[in-house]
Every structure is written in structure tokens, then in C-alpha cells.
């Protein structure tokens, strides 16, 4: 979650402004500290009778210390305004990969209209390709923030905000909702996984396929299909709920519940049994499954790669 280890054009642009402000302020610090030191030593009290010459009203000095800060502000304003215009364009660049982002209390939904993929809490992107995020929040205001890839962008009900950047290095980048959005705001995390070109196509193909149900997890599959889960979750070929995250490829995700826990069998079973205990206020009810049923459903969900 570092803002100074930039891995996209957008994040580097922000760093440029940081850099300019840092060097300008270091320069000011050095000058002020040097003058201060000089005055402290040169005019220290040696003789109570001998006072330095007292000056009242010095127009040249006053004009000087009005113009100098104005110049400093100008030096900061010019690159800042340039970079605001460079990073805030709402137009979709040609050839950009479009992803629809929805911020929900308290999870992230990602849809790729051109690829017909839906996922949650893990945004997968190919390295070197410009991405165009179209963001909207169905409930309250959230803010999309992946510090190493770009600046914050508010996700607002009834309004589409956009964010454009080009990831520059493969890897996993952490993100977090950055606008207080209710009791589990701190539990609304996300990961951006930037793929090398070679693995991107394979990821897309995996996500587009409808996963088969293995015989070993048939009990869990049956339980899922006859429980209220189907009203809120989509699993392609099984259910079409849209209140919670799409679970078609849940087993391919590394975390559960918006990045708060690694998706191990124990964690997923605990989540399915009593989500409230792991995430206060969560919009998923406990459905009264037994431990054994919860483990069966968890094994089924984790098999959906």
C-alpha cells in the first residue's frame, strides 16, 4: 500500500508532483535553517548593553517575502494542474480494456463487458494495457484506491466516475476502500493482480469456462443449490443471484470476503456458517448450516476454479 513505489503511469505522475514538492520544501528548509543558525550565533547575547540595530518597516523585505512564497506556490501549481488534466480525463482511450467497478457495502464487483467475465475483490489486468474503469456505487459513497497503481477515485451512487491507468509491472497490488462507508469499511479491501502477457489469456479462458462439479463435492453443490444462497449469488449454470459476489470461479480467488482472509477450507466454512462473526454488519445472513454442511459447501465453492 505504498504511494511512492509507483507501478503505473498514473502513480508515477503523482510521484512527479511529490518529488517536486519534496525538493522545493527541502530547499526552503535548508535556506531557512541556515539563516536561523546564522542569526542565532551572530546575534547571541554577549553583552546586555549592546543591542543589534532595530529595524521597523522595511518595504523591500516585505515585498520580497510576499513574492517568494507566491513563486513557490506557482512552482507547485503548474505541474499539479498539468497532472490533474493528464489523469482526470473521462474519455475512454482507444483500445483500453473496460472494467465496470461497483463498490458495495463491503465488497468490490468487477465486470468485464467485452470478455463477459464477472469477479469480485480481485481485479485481474494484463500488464502494459491501458485499463478504463467505470465506477459506480449502488449503496453509499466508496472510494477506489490502489496506491501503487493510481490515485483515489470516489465511487458514487447515481454517477459514473472513471479511472484510467496502465499497469507497468506484473504483481499483486493491495487496495482498500478509502471513503468511510459503514461499519465494515475497514474490511472492504481488494487486490489487483497484474498478469504477464503470457498468463493473461489463460486466466480469461478459465474465467469464461463454466466449471464442472466434481463428484467429490456433490453434497456441497446440492446444499448450495437448495439453500437461499442461490437468491443472492451467481454460479453459472446453477444460480443467478446478484446481491452478493459472483461465485462461479470462487475457487480461483485467493481471499474470501473482500480480502480479509485467505480462502482456506476452514475460513470459507467459518464464513458460510456465520459471516457476521468475521465481518460485522455484513449483508449476508447466517443460514443455520451445521459445521458439516458448511464444510461441504466450502469444499464445493473452493472446487470452482
Sheet holding 171-176, edge to edge: 122-126, 189-195, 171-176
Cα separation, 94 vs 131, in Å, equals 10
Partner interacting with residue 156 (select from Cu ion, ligand HEC, none; CB below 5-8 Å by kind): none
Stretch of 2-10, 29-37, 71-79, 136-144 lying at the interface with Cu ion (CB under 5 A): 136-144
Tell me if 301 contacts ligand HEC by CB under 6 A: yes
For cell 531557512, the residue is 32
Q: How far apart are the first and last CA of the chain?
A: 28
Find which of ligand HEC, Cu ion, none residue 279 binds, CB within 5 to 8 Å per kind: ligand HEC
Q: Indicate the residue among 104 and 295 with the shorter CB distance to Cu ion.
A: 104
By CB under 5 A, tell whether 188 contacts Cu ion: yes
- Are 272 and 294 a contacting pair, CB within 8 Å? yes
Sole binder of Cu ion in the list 13, 118, 177, 235 (CB under 5 A)? 177
Smallest gap from Cβ 108 to Cu ion, in A, equals: 9
Q: Which is nearer to ligand HEC, 196 or 285 (CB)?
A: 285
Q: Of 104, 142, 191, 295, which one interacts with Cu ion (CB under 5 A)?
A: 142
Phi and psi (nearest 5°) for 211? Answer: -70, 145
Helix (H) or strand (E) holding 143: strand 142-144
Backbone angles phi, psi at 219, to 5 degrees: -60, -50
- Residues 246-275, mask of contacts with ligand HEC (x by CB under 6 A): -x--x--x--xxx---------x--xx---
Count interface residues toward ligand HEC (CB under 6 A): 31
Phi, psi of 216 (to 5 degrees): -65, -20
Cβ at position 304, least distance to ligand HEC in Å: 10
Selection from 220, 250, 224, 230 nearest residue 118 by Cα: 250
Complex with ligand HEC: residue 21 or 193, whichever CB lies closer: 193
How far apart are alpha carbons 247 and 254 in whole angstroms? 13
| CB 186, min distance to ligand HEC, A | 12
Could you list the residues that contact Cu ion (CB under 5 A)?
142, 177, 181, 188
Amino acid at each position: 500500500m505504498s504511494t511512492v513505489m509507483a507501478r503505473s503511469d498514473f502513480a508515477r505522475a503523482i510521484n512527479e508532483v511529490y518529488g517536486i514538492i519534496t525538493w522545493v520544501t527541502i530547499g526552503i528548509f535548508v535556506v531557512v535553517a541556515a539563516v536561523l543558525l546564522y542569526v542565532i550565533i551572530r546575534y547571541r547575547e554577549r553583552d546586555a548593553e549592546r543591542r543589534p540595530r532595530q529595524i521597523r518597516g522595511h518595504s523591500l523585505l516585505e515585498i520580497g517575502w510576499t513574492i517568494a512564497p507566491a513563486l513557490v506556490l506557482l512552482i507547485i501549481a503548474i505541474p499539479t494542474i498539468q497532472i490533474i488534466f493528464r489523469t482526470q480525463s473521462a474519455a475512454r482511450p482507444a483500445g483500453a480494456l473496460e472494467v465496470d467497478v461497483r463498490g458495495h457495502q463491503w465488497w468490490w464487483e468487477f465486470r468485464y463487458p467485452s470478455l463477459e467475465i464477472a469477479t469480485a475483490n480481485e481485479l485481474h489486468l494484463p500488464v502494459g494495457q491501458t485499463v478504463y474503469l467505470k465506477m459506480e456505487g449502488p449503496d453509499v459513497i466508496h472510494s477506489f484506491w490502489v496506491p501503487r497503481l493510481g490515485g483515489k477515485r470516489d465511487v458514487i451512487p447515481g454517477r459514473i466516475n472513471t479511472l484510467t491507468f496502465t499497469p507497468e509491472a506484473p504483481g499483486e497490488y493491495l487496495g482498500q476502500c478509502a471513503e468511510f462507508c459503514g461499519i465494515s469499511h475497514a474490511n472492504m479491501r481488494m487486490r489487483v493482480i497484474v498478469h504477464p502477457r503470457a498468463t493473461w489469456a489463460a486466466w480469461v479462458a478459465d474465467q469464461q469456462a463454466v466449471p464442472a462439479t466434481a463428484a467429490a463435492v456433490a453434497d456441497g453443490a446440492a446444499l448450495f443449490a437448495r439453500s437461499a444462497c442461490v437468491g443472492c449469488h451467481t454460479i453459472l449454470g446453477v444460480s443467478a443471484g446478484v446481491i452478493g459476489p459472483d461465485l462461479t470461479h470462487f475457487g480461483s480467488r485467493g481471499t474470501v470476503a473482500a480480502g480479509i482472509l485467505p480462502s482456506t477450507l476452514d475460513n470459507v466454512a467459518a464464513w458460510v456458517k456465520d459471516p457476521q462473526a468475521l465481518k460485522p454488519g455484513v449483508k449476508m445472513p447466517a443460514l443455520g448450516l451445521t459445521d458439516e454442511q458448511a464444510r461441504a459447501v466450502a469444499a464445493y465453492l473452493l472446487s470452482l476454479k
